[in-house]
Amino acid sequence: MAAVADEDSLRRALAQKQSSIDVQGGAVRQLKSSGAAKLDIEAAVQALNALKLEKASIESQLQAALAGAAGGGSSSASRDAFRQAVVNTLERRLFYIPSFKIYRGVAGLYDYGPPGCSVKSNVLSFWRQHFVLEENMLEVDCPCVTPEVVLKASGHVEKFTDLMVKDEKTGTCYRADHLLKDFCKEKLEKDFSLSAEKAAELKHILAVLDDLSAEQLGAKIKEYGITAPDTKNPLSDPYPFNLMFQTSIGPSGVSPGYMRPETAQGIFVNFRDLYYYNGNKLPFAAAQIGQAFRNEISPRQGLLRVREFTLAEIEHFVDPQDKSHPKFSDVAKLEFLMFPRDDQVSGQCAKKLQLGEAVSRGTVNNETLGYFIGRVYLFLTRLGIDKDRLRFRQHLANEMAHYAADCWDAEIESSYGWIECVGIADRSAYDLRAHSEKSSVALVAQEKFSEPREVEKLVITPIKKELGLAFKGNQKMVTEALEAMEEKVAMEMKADLESKGEVEFHVCTLGKNVTIKKNMVSISKEIKKEHQRVFTPSVIEPSFGIGRIIYCLYEHSFYTRPSKAGDEQLNVFSFPPLVAPIKCTVFPLVQNKKYEEVAKLISKSLTAAGISHKIDITGTSIGKRYARTDELGVPFAITVDSTSSVTVRERDSKDQVRVDVEKVASVVREVADGLSSWADVLKMYPLHSSETAEE
């Protein structure tokens, strides 16, 4: 709360100081108009200037407080300049570029160039190793084109929308919440005349933005006089826009479909077959990497908000009565930044918590959810994400889906602020139940008992004759909905029918409420012997936005350092060898046939060892060649300056060691594969010093 209190007190002090300046300014004008003595006027002007200096000091303090609250403690201008330097380097070195560039591009679509493809491939390869292989997951690959019926069952057709507004004159579309968010942030960061009360109001709007209805958003846009950013024209009222790309399957056009907005549904609809493949045993996890599509209204922020992107998703199916995890102890002692909802609501900051304590206190709902939070932390930090700029934020009550037991986002700080890159949710049994109901195929698991058990069972018996008379052609759908009721709903219906004689009941397949009377259904509980328990599994879902993770990795890895001559700043990407697009470069020191032959020999050894590399035999200076590869994030450079031994240079320290030609490929492979560190190499091989190497 300290930062908030500081900001509030500074805004109040600023308002008071401005009031004093207005009063003193009036006094100066009065003295001048009344022809007062020169000394009196000068003294009054001096007092006015002193007040203005005090105001400027308070403004500086407020700016620092706002920058600190935003994260990173840097100004908006410096963050923008840093981002521009990163993006310029990424585009110039072809990590990624706007798609269809020669046709002026399309917003929200990007091409990955050669180094970008390599980074992405390395990230996905490590994802498979870290999750799929280590956890024995079942990997699937499902189509991007999805029939409408699947996405109706999942709720995407009805609810996968954002609220949109239009420029009333040009028709240009904008996301309503983005316009309101930008307005609030701009006022908070740049309007120092804002009162503490108004600042608190704008902060409250930012906190509840996701929960505002179309009417509430529209009212705020009108209240604050927000107009179209490009033209300043008035805006329409907000209305929902479905983000899915619609298509049709087959030439007739009668079978509607969509480009999938996520990869998860392909796993859910295959649950029965995957469960059988896994020997009818729980828990198990299925994983999928693939493209997803969202027709963003006004995409921005580069790779962070795009219309086609790569998702890597895991659906871990578990018994809802037992969400313990046998490997939780492996991650229980991890300590990292966590941001529980209570801390968010009370205005506190994220703080370091031990994962085991967070689970034991109930801050994190269960061990399996906690286990995946820990595994996600290890995945991201091993990729090269700065652990001090990574936090796990719990969803607020207004963000949580009604069916979710708990949900945490892995957020990474970038020049755009905190960016959600991974969602880790306990989705309960919602998805499997929704597809079971829509498809009439039971997506359930069984637990066989060693001895039969007497259990109290809910028995729902629809009276078909009465339902037929009341609902005629809709009888089947009403009957199925009654039979699918959960115990709590059924017992509430029983009580209402006994007390009132009838009750309103929502039938999903009809999309409306119907009146159920006492003579239409019998609801009771009976003691039965059971040999097995049949249940719908819960799902723990970690979902990774690969493009967002990669962009944050670019920012976290980027820095500049002066050239040897000190006349320019050189760009460097400090990628760990794990994700670097090229692991190693090979440079003959000078254009010499013997050195070039040795370089080719080393290249063959590196290829045999599976190390991606590049030979550079251009006549440019070795220093310029180092600078070129540092800008690509290449961690190691081999310089051939003799036929028997070579130097190996490490990118960030610029240290070099001397290694025999026959051993160099194995040395680079061990460090690149993480089997040893550069510190280990320095202990084993003599440090090489060259005054001219970087010139």
CB count in 10 Å sphere of residue 91? 16
Nearest C-alpha neighbor of 87 from the set 77, 76, 95: 95
The SS3 call for residue 610 is coil
Q: Are both 550 and 484 inside the same structural domain?
A: no
Banded model confidence at residue 204, pLDDT cuts 50, 70, 90 = confident
Strands 284-293, 138-139: pairing is: parallel
Q: Is 575 inside any structural domain? A: no
Q: Are both 530 and 540 inside the same structural domain?
A: no
Return the CATH number at 216: 3.30.40.230
- Give the DSSP H/E element, type plus range, for residue 232: none
Q: Are both 143 and 261 inside the same structural domain?
A: yes
- Structural domain ending residue among the three candidates 181, 214, 242: 242
Q: Are both 132 and 206 inside the same structural domain?
A: no
Q: Is 394 inside any structural domain? A: yes
Q: What is the distance between the alpha carbons of residues 605 and 590, in angstroms, rounded to a whole number? A: 21
Q: Is 429 inside any structural domain? A: yes
Q: Is 511 inside any structural domain? A: yes
Which of 365-374, 511-520, 588-597, 641-650 is predicted with the least confidence, judged by mean pLDDT?
A: 588-597
Return the CATH number at 389: 3.30.930.10
Q: Are both 386 and 523 inside the same structural domain?
A: no
| 309-336 mean pLDDT | 96
Output the six-digit token pair for 243. 């983000």
Q: Are both 415 and 300 inside the same structural domain?
A: yes
Banded model confidence at residue 383, pLDDT cuts 50, 70, 90 = very high
Structural domain of 667: 582-684
pLDDT tens digits, 559-601: 999 988 777 899 999 999 999 999 999 998 888 888 889 999 9
Q: Are both 417 and 521 inside the same structural domain?
A: no
Q: Is 95 inside any structural domain? A: no
- Give the DSSP H/E element, type plus range, for residue 331: none
Q: What is the distance between the alpha carbons of residues 341 and 347, in angstroms, rounded to a whole number? A: 10
Q: Are both 283 and 365 inside the same structural domain?
A: yes
Q: Are both 11 and 22 inside the same structural domain?
A: yes
| CA 551 from centroid of its chain's CA atoms | 11
Q: Is 78 inside any structural domain? A: no
Instruction: Check: CB of residue 313 under 8 Å from CB of residue 297.
Output: no
pLDDT value of residue 8: 74
Nearest C-alpha neighbor of 178 from the set 191, 189, 162: 162
| 522-532 mean pLDDT | 87
The number of residues making up the chain comes to: 695
Give the total number of structural domains in the chain.
Answer: 5
- Structural domain ending residue among the three candidates 47, 73, 99: 73
Compute the C-alpha angle 229/235/238, nearest 5°: 115
Q: Is 689 inside any structural domain? A: no
pLDDT higher than 50, residue 694: no
Tell me the pLDDT of the chain averaged across its residues. Answer: 90
Q: Are both 544 and 530 inside the same structural domain?
A: no
pLDDT higher than 80, residue 300: yes
- Give the DSSP H/E element, type plus range, for residue 620: none
Q: Is 404 inside any structural domain? A: yes
Q: Are both 286 and 412 inside the same structural domain?
A: yes
pLDDT value of residue 409: 96
Q: Is there a cis peptide before residue 283, judged by omega within 30 degrees of 0?
A: yes
Q: What is the distance between the alpha carbons of residues 164 and 296, in angstroms, rounded to a whole number? A: 10
- Structural domain ending residue among the three candidates 242, 258, 285: 242
Return the CATH number at 475: 3.30.720.200
Q: Are both 404 and 541 inside the same structural domain?
A: yes
